[in-house]
Structure 1
């Protein structure tokens, strides 16, 4: 591209500034969706492979739902606390702690997206036999796990967003 050209889909005056050295880009929503779609494929394939080998596909337990819900609650609490400290009260946070929280948020978003897809794949696999009680319970539990995994993704993204350093109001662009 020449200096006067713009990227496809961008207006000539809509320039995105390059990231500052040492900065981390926000997690891409498209990447999270792609990971979730990959997870659906993994979930469906896993169930079909286990059942074609004569085995019984794993079921999602209540303990799994409780553990995921607890993780989501912890992440939401961390996101709220971090937002209050950095964005509202403008407190200084140790760089190592901020990086740790940022990476926890990013990792939670990625793992939550993958698990959302896998649980949705499990639910889709048992959907055709939902008339009987066994598959119905599997669909309900896997669907609930997928929804709670979406909460983990959301909380992870909120924690990541809370770690952004606010622009200095005295600084002029």
Structure 2
């Protein structure tokens, strides 16, 4: 049997309560307006590097708890005790660089919020860019944001197309939600 060509193909025959199916059908590619949720998605994408997305889906509630509900201001204020707590938390990915990136990136987002009003407004201000330009922009501001991480973050939050193929039943729902890429 051939491997699925797209995520849509992969999830098509999965049970409705499968983690991948739920994410595909309810979150992947849908625009996010809340800065904390955007930050949370960025944390998950960064932590997925070198690991499986399924692991991130299984641990997403643990990440939300460990990172103060993805509250940008709270994470930006994390100190050494918080860093040690995160590195000891078996419910998340205990990687020193990824933990440090999350805390650093929260501080960057606070600065972007001051300058642009929100992280989303900063993203909107720079849209549309292609993936290489987005990656360059992210690398200038954030830690642990290579091309795949940036691409998946932006595709999963509606800034780049490709989350769903046109024949996927969810594709139309994503379009109705108004992703940035469809407004170009």
Structure-2-length-normalised TM-score: 0.21
- Higher CA-based Rg: 1
> Could you state the TM-score of these two structures normalised by the residue count of structure 1?
0.22
Report 1 or 2 for greater relative contact order, CA contacts < 8 Å, sequence distance ≥ 6: 1
